[in-house]
A and B are shown apart, each in its own frame.
Chain A
Amino acid sequence: MSNAPQLIGSSGDSLREAFGKALVSLADEFPNLVVLDADVAGGTGAHNFRTSHGDRFFQFGIAEQNMVSAAGGMAATGLIPVVTTFAVFALRALEQTRLSVAYAERNVKIVASHPGLDVGPDGASAQCLEDLAAFRAIPNMTVISPADQIETELATRAIVEHVGPVYMRTGRSPTPRIFGADHTFQIGKGQIVRDGADVTIVACGVQVARSLDAAKILDGEGISARVVNMATIKPLDHDLLQRCANETGCMVTAEDHNIFGGLGGAVTESLAQHTPCPVEFIAVNDRFGQSGEPDELVQLYNLGSVHIADAARRAIKRK
């Protein structure tokens, strides 16, 4: 008996694994769904689909640019290609996404694991802090960042049902469960996951759980914080943002992404136009990441629940 090494980081409780299992569950219902990989299936969750539906799994090797343009071609034959890779390598094929997928309006889904500081030990080269900004800037793209395993499963179904190009980021590390079996997901709709009157914390991805923790901290001080899960960064739920701005008078945005151009950028573009109010940003402050455990990095880069709570207090003071 050989002792095969254990695959590092293939946690059953990560968003990437939730995505991979969701793909398997959709396979029968969507016979045109095919999955494309660039030799990282073990890390993206796509290995689940490779095992269950090997005849619909296409290996492209370590060549993301070809993979993304080819996905556009495959979609042009009626298939629904789901391109799977790490977020930084999706970024590598940004221009292919722009021309071969988005401009051509091909029904391609790009689902990237390993976004943000959540990547942890692999360090800055793999910690993609720019994907939301980059993919959001491309016309025709829908951009999604689900918050937990249940939402990832629902979002996976939603993007396969949706006709048009999508970029979705999952996550590498084990992520707390937030939602119950009754959770719903609709592309383009944010949700108030905790109500409050003094400040609205708008978060996406792994920062939703930390924002809920921050709301609990604030609650102990008599501050009533509302938490919005903005799982769709584009198209943005402008109506919900306006309502929250009117009802709470200030906001905090929280994302595992660079401070420029991501969720905070999208939210403040909307607010500036419709309902200006004080906004504080929780994001990586225009720096690269480094090796470390995700929890350590969250503290070092000021992305934790205590930092979100601090930002909420600052926002309230500015009202």
Chain B
Amino acid sequence: MTSSAFHENLIETARLIRCHSIASIYTATSGHPGGSLSAADLLSYLYTHEIGDEIPQDDDLKRNRFVLSKGHACPALYGALAVKGHIGLDEPLKLRKLGSRMQGHPHVGALAHVEASTGSLGQGFSAALGMALGIRHQGGDGRVYVMLGDGEMQEGQVWEAAQCAAHYKLDSLTAVLDYNKMQSDDLNANIIGLEPLADKWRAFGWHVVEIDGHDFAAISAAFKEAKSTTGKPTLVLAHTLKGKGVSFMENYPTWHGSVTMSLDDTEKSLIDLGVSKSDVPGWLDGTIHEGSTQ
């Protein structure tokens, strides 16, 4: 694959993840668009280059694993799974519906490709740490990736786990921070300030790579650096834009938490994401898709 094709594939995957996120949150009538859109590029990279296509098995210690610790961004995760063909292209539209695998927060018991039940911040990070420890203990070489939100940094458990991972020199563990600077109610800085965040993680014994979380060249380089870093876990501190890709959501406070999206807003969002107006109804009833990248 040429360099430009490499990027085009990632860009298109991310665009489709965003479309799935918007369409599913619309049909669910609730969900968190801002943090799903900010995470889409990072998920596009992880599900294209780091996470394999196999059905996850617990005792497979060779495969890489991904845990979405910021579980409320699962519309983006389900979107990534749909784009990569792990679930049906119309399945994300069942988000938050009774009996569906698309639970309102990811659940291992509902969907095989979910590695940890999350939705209570901090816990997915520890679960990922446990996976990395367990894999290494049994001689496996699988890597574990875990995505955290910035609001999540306020949970004490995150720092318990950060300290523990550094103590165990868990270089097979890579945390990705979707640092969009906003949490449910307001800017991080107005809730409980997080800075100097990179310094805190370094002080906790982590290797920190600070990047633009929407720049695929930087994302790719960061994960390569994480893989070549030995003796300590790596944090990819990815600066992102909440609501990225939908003009009226980008950095606009209303779209941070769980919302009900109007048909009008949904249509505008999908059009912003490159969907033609005539294709919008098909995205919302599952009859038209622009195809997966498979």
Contact A77 B59, beta carbon cutoff 8 Å: yes
Q: Does B11 contact A (CB under 8 A)?
A: no
Contact B122 A71, beta carbon cutoff 8 Å: no
Q: Does B85 contact A (CB under 8 A)?
A: no
Q: Of A61-69, A125-133, A168-176, A295-303, which stretch is located at the interface?
A: A61-69
Contact B116 A63, beta carbon cutoff 8 Å: no
Q: Does A260 contact B (CB under 8 A)?
A: no
Contact A73 B119, beta carbon cutoff 8 Å: no
B31, chain A: closest CB distance, angstroms: 19
Q: Of B14-22, B94-102, B159-167, B271-279, which stretch is located at the interface?
A: B159-167
Contacts of B133 in A (CB 8 A): 58, 70, 73-74
Contact A100 B116, beta carbon cutoff 8 Å: yes
Contacts of B58 in A (CB 8 A): 76-78
A43, chain B: closest CB distance, angstroms: 20
Contact A96 B123, beta carbon cutoff 8 Å: yes
A-B residue pair count with CB separations less than 8 angstroms:
116
> How far is A77 from B133 in the complex, measured between Cα atoms in Å?
9
The contact of A70 among B130, B135, B156, by CB within 8 Å, is: B130
> How far is A34 from B163 in the complex, measured between Cα atoms in Å?
21
B203, chain A: closest CB distance, angstroms: 17
Contact B163 A61, beta carbon cutoff 8 Å: yes
Q: Which residue of A lies closest to B71 (CB)?
A: A99
Q: Does A79 contact B (CB under 8 A)?
A: yes
Contacts of B137 in A (CB 8 A): 34, 56, 74, 77, 79
Q: Given A103-B109, A104-B109, A105-B109, is A69 in contact with B130 using a C-beta cutoff of 8 Å?
A: yes
Contact B164 A66, beta carbon cutoff 8 Å: yes
Interface of A is mostly: helix
Contact B109 A73, beta carbon cutoff 8 Å: no
Contacts of B221 in A (CB 8 A): none
Contact B163 A69, beta carbon cutoff 8 Å: no
Interface of B is mostly: helix
Contact A73 B130, beta carbon cutoff 8 Å: yes
Q: Does B138 contact A (CB under 8 A)?
A: yes
The contact of A73 among B107, B126, B140, by CB within 8 Å, is: B126
Contact A72 B130, beta carbon cutoff 8 Å: yes
Contacts of B129 in A (CB 8 A): 66, 70, 73
Contact B157 A76, beta carbon cutoff 8 Å: no
The residue in B117, B118, B167 that gathers the most chain A C-beta atoms within 10 A of its C-beta is B117
Contact A78 B161, beta carbon cutoff 8 Å: no
Q: Does B41 contact A (CB under 8 A)?
A: no
Contact B134 A61, beta carbon cutoff 8 Å: no
> How far is A9 from B132 in the complex, measured between Cα atoms in Å?
36
Q: Does A288 contact B (CB under 8 A)?
A: no
Contacts of B163 in A (CB 8 A): 61, 63
Contacts of A56 in B (CB 8 A): 137
Contact A74 B123, beta carbon cutoff 8 Å: no
Q: Does B209 contact A (CB under 8 A)?
A: no
Contacts of A95 in B (CB 8 A): 120
Q: Does B28 contact A (CB under 8 A)?
A: no
Contact A70 B138, beta carbon cutoff 8 Å: no
Contact A76 B115, beta carbon cutoff 8 Å: yes
> How far is A56 from B161 in the complex, measured between Cα atoms in Å?
19
> How far is A227 from B190 in the complex, measured between Cα atoms in Å?
60
Contacts of A77 in B (CB 8 A): 58-59, 61, 130-131, 134-135, 137-138, 140
Contact A65 B107, beta carbon cutoff 8 Å: no
> How far is A73 from B131 in the complex, measured between Cα atoms in Å?
4
Q: Does B51 contact A (CB under 8 A)?
A: no
Q: Does B128 contact A (CB under 8 A)?
A: yes
Contacts of A99 in B (CB 8 A): 117-120, 123
A225, chain B: closest CB distance, angstroms: 44
The residue in A56, A68, A79 that gathers the most chain B C-beta atoms within 10 A of its C-beta is A79
> How far is A119 from B164 in the complex, measured between Cα atoms in Å?
29
The residue in B117, B126, B167 that gathers the most chain A C-beta atoms within 10 A of its C-beta is B126
- B residues near A (Cβ < 8 Å) are 58-59, 61, 67, 107-109, 115-120, 122-135, 137-138, 140, 156-157, 160-161, 163-164, 167
- 10 A/B residue pairs, CB under 8 Å, sorted by A: A63-B160, A69-B123, A69-B130, A70-B127, A77-B58, A79-B134, A104-B108, A104-B116, A104-B127, A105-B108
